[in-house]
Amino acid sequence: MSDFQEHVEKLNVRGIIMASLMTAFGLVVALAWKDAINALVASIIPDSDNGSLLSMFITAVAVTVLVTVLAATALKANRRLEQSWDRVNDLWEKDEDEGEPQEKADRAS
């Protein structure tokens, strides 16, 4: 295995990217949908003002559900990518192992 591959595995780049992605999802969803969800809650509970405790809790639950679905989808995609990556690595190692006897024979002659 090359030094580059060893360093990449030690850094766990995919894990860092997934953590950053989850954080970005949470922030974007909370900011982008805040007003829309507040308006929806206000239409469901017409007597509540914009800052009522009940409407804040309903908004928080709605955002949590949305972020959870996005996070689960991203994690599932990451698992699929890891499985694909493992298959590619296995094929790569298999090709390298099969090529070794020929390379040794070429060097010997």
> What total number of domains does the chain contain?
1
Residue 11 tokens, joined: 């850094």
**Which has more pLDDT, 108 or 86?**
86
Write out pLDDT tens, residues 14-26. Answer: 888 888 998 898 8
Residue 69 per-residue DSSP state: H
pLDDT for the residue 77: 93
Residue 82 tokens, joined: 């890891």
Whole domain around residue 73: which residue ranges? 3-108
Write out pLDDT tens, residues 29-55. Answer: 778 777 787 777 778 777 655 567 777
Report how far residue 41's alpha carbon sits from residue 56's, in angstroms, rounded to the nearest whole number. Answer: 9
Among 12, 1, 7, which Cα is nearest to 82's?
12
Give Cα separations from 4 to 9, 11, 27, 32, 88 (angstroms).
Answer: 9, 11, 33, 39, 17
Write out pLDDT tens, residues 55-102. Answer: 778 778 887 898 899 889 999 998 999 999 888 888 888 877 776 555
pLDDT for the residue 107: 56
